Chains A and B, each alone.
Chain A
Amino acid sequence: MTSSVSPSTRASARPLTDEEVDRIRNDFPILDQLVNGHPLNYLDSGATSQNPLSVMEAEQEFYEQRNAAVHRGAHTLAFGATETFEAARATVAAFIGAQADEIVWTSNATEAINLVAYSFSNASLGLGGAAARRFAFGAGDEIVVTEMEHHANLIPWQQLALRTGATLRFIPVRDDGTLDLAAAAGVIGTRTRLLAVTHASNVVGTINPVAELVALARSVGALVLLDACQSVPHLPVDVAALDVDFAVFSGHKMLGPTGIGVLYGKAELLAGMPPFLTGGSMITTVDMHTAEFLAPPQRFEAGTQRISQVIALAAAVDYLTETGMERIMAREAELGQRLVAGLADIPGVRLLGPPAGVERIGLASFDLAGVHAHDVGQYLDEAGIAVRIGHHCAQPLHRRLGVTASTRASTYLYTTTDEVDRFLATLAEVAPFFGVKS
């Protein structure tokens, strides 16, 4: 069984050209600056992406012209703000093949996962009545994650297991950084209630075989939550076609602002789930001892919402849609292959994850023999090159691959071919500078 598809079969759209990327860069003023005397070479979009002018303008225009609280107040501004806020929900829903009422706003993807975990936790305490019983976890139940998860898709499940007595199990990772699907069939069993898995790895850059994993989960009646933080920004994602029950992603990794995340949940599932955060804006009738809750998504959106961030996120989605997700994906597949092919030519570099030729997003993490990632990052920074160093919030995966830290370069739609080449050329200087002989 192979876990990957060759780049040619998936990336059928025409990649963005170098000329188009040059035009795109005009929309991102932050990219036009010197860092330590060198043109900024931003290869850390996997951590956070940059914002185009249209996103910043959308937020500014909202505050200059239309700012008001949503879903309360009967004045003109409040009504207009509510309309714009809900139109943004429809925009984001359409972007991932969902219905508007299946989109819940959160602060970030981490909060979105915690929302699901705490809702299940509350169901396990008996909250939410009969409709929530299917979300109750207890002794004998199993939650399955993978060894490559970001801490955000691991620790909330560890904690849910601790609170409910459920058992956490994991699908192991193979030496090449891909999921061991043969083992997955043994880990996912009749006790499995939930499979929480990442779509694209933030460390090894691979795209996991969601269809096969969902089929395994379905065969035992388990729910599936997809961490789509590294996929929704970079490739077309259709949650309905993938048939996942939940998906989460962050605004700031897809040209949007910080402080806004998205939980997608199938409507019929959200309808039965008890709330996580409670308070204003999520209730119908309240007395001194009880409260009735609104239907989703408002049931999960307590308190004043992140209105300007939501509107800016919709502007980011418009920007991505106009550029074309198929074309962005094809462009980043090229850059990803260029990265790993170039890394293979540098003495002492060990790529984490599968080699060139295997499908990956525009992201590559590596270890440089004899030079710690922090020192690699320092040298690159001096040349204006921004990369991520450390464990990338995935300590178990690094441990599995036999390293404590790595260096990661990650691209986006504004990354030039020259930037990738300049990064590779500078990286080749690092081991000699630190006196490491290859």
Chain B
Amino acid sequence: MTSNAMQQLYQQIILDHAKARHGASAEGLAPLAEVARAGLRVTESHQVNTTCGDEVTVRVGLRSEESGGDAAGDAVIEEFAWAGDGCSISMASASVLHDTVRGEDVATARALLNTFRDMLRSRGTIEPDDEELGDAAAFAGVSKYPARVKCAMLPWVAFEAALLAE
């Protein structure tokens, strides 16, 4: 019994990212003090899905063109690392998040985050824009499973909280 619905939810892109885990640190993230470098502002957030105990820590390193630039604007996400333990949806989502926002400026990343969140909360009514979202568009099927939206959002929420903590 491999239903069509299961294949819509667990698209091959998701299963592949769940295994590949781009940007993941298998041994966990090094202490913050060890990763500080000149000009790079490092911030992170740890989030837990209390339903199932899944957890993810997202760490971003931001660099601004001019000193004094802020995370709300043109700072660039120069580094992105994460560590976590969870289901294929949450782990794949973290991997895709890494690919999606690394190298982008904060304003662009925030816009992508909002697009991703709107799609996930749409209960299947929003058709994703593959051009804009890339691999993240594969999570459109998750929006039909309200119980799994939290799984897909977990790393993105951690990313958002890390930016706010900046």
Binding site for B on A (CB under 8 A): 36, 371-375, 378-379, 382-383, 389-391, 395, 398, 404-405, 426, 429, 433-435
Say whether B6 contacts A433, CB under 8 Å.
Answer: yes
Number of interface residues of B (CB under 8 A): 22
Closest-CB distance, A438 to chain B (whole angstroms): 16
Chain B residue numbers with a CB within 8 Å of A434 are: 10, 15, 88
CA distance A426 to B6 in the complex (A): 13
A378, B9: Cβ atoms closer than 8 Å: yes
Q: Is the CB of B79 closer than 8 A to any CB of chain A?
A: no
Residues of B close to A395: CB separation below 8 A: 53
Do A383 and B87 form a contact, CB below 8 Å, given A374-B54, A391-B53, A405-B52?
A: no
Q: List 10 A-B contacts (CB under 8 A).
A: A374-B86, A374-B89, A375-B87, A379-B6, A389-B52, A391-B53, A395-B53, A404-B53, A426-B1, A435-B15
The reply to whether B15 and A405 contact each other, CB–CB distance below 8 Å, is no
- Asked, given contacts A405-B53, A429-B1, A433-B2, whether A374 binds B87 with beta carbons under 8 Å apart, the answer is yes
A378 touches B145 (CB 8 A): yes
A391 CB contacts on chain B under 8 angstroms: 52-53
A residues near B19, Cβ cutoff 8 Å: 435
Mostly, the B contact residues are: mixed
CB closest residue in chain A, given B145:
A378
Q: Produce 1/0 per residue, B38-54, CB < 8 A to A.
A: 00000000000001111
Give bound CA distance, A389 to B89, whole Å. 15
Q: When each residue 1-41 of chain B gets 1 if its CB lies under 8 Å from chain A and 0 otherwise, what string results?
A: 11101100110000100010000000000000000000000
Known: A434-B15, A435-B15. A374 touches B52 (CB 8 A): yes
Which A residues are in CB contact (< 8 Å) with B88? 371-372, 375, 434
Q: Is B121 an interface residue (CB 8 A)?
A: no
- On chain B, the residues within 8 Å of A382 by CB distance are 1, 3, 5-6
Q: Does B151 contact A (CB under 8 A)?
A: yes
Inter-chain CA distance A405–B9, complex, in Å, is 21
Q: Does B117 sit within 8 A of A, measured CB to CB?
A: no
Sorted nearest first, the 3 A-B pairs with minimum C-beta distance are A374-B87, A372-B87, A390-B52
Cα A372 to Cα B55 in complex, Å, equals 13
Q: Which residues of A contact B148 (CB under 8 A)?
A: 374, 378
With a CB–CB cut-off of 8 A, which chain A residues contact B2? 429, 433
Chain B 70-101 per-residue mask, 1 if CB under 8 angstroms from chain A, else 0? 00000000000000011111010000000000
Could you tell me the distance between the alpha carbons of A433 and B1 in the complex, rounded to whole angstroms?
Answer: 9
* CB nearest neighbor in A for B3: A382
Given contacts A383-B1, A391-B52, A429-B1, 8 further A-B contacts (CB under 8 A): A374-B52, A374-B86, A375-B88, A378-B9, A383-B3, A404-B54, A405-B53, A435-B15
Q: Which residues of A contact B6 (CB under 8 A)?
A: 378-379, 382, 433
Complex Cα–Cα for A390 and B50 (A): 9
Report the minimum CB–CB distance from B84 to chain A (whole Å): 11
A374 to chain B: closest residue by CB: B87
- Whether B53 and A375, one on each chain, are in contact in the complex, defined by CB atoms closer than 8 angstroms, is no
Q: Looking across the interface, which residue of chain A has its beta carbon closest to that of B49?
A: A374
| A375→B89 contact, CB < 8 A | yes
Measured CB to CB, the closest approach of chain B to A258, in angstroms, equals 19
* Neighbouring B residues of A375 by C-beta, 8 Å: 10, 87-89
Q: Which residues of A contact B85 (CB under 8 A)?
A: 404
Q: Which residues of A contact B53 (CB under 8 A)?
A: 390-391, 395, 398, 404-405
Nearest neighbor of B151 in chain A, beta-carbon distance: A374
Bound Cα distance from A150 to B54, whole angstroms: 19
Give the docked Cα–Cα distance between A375 and B52 (Å).
11
A433–B2 Cα distance when bound, in Å, is: 7
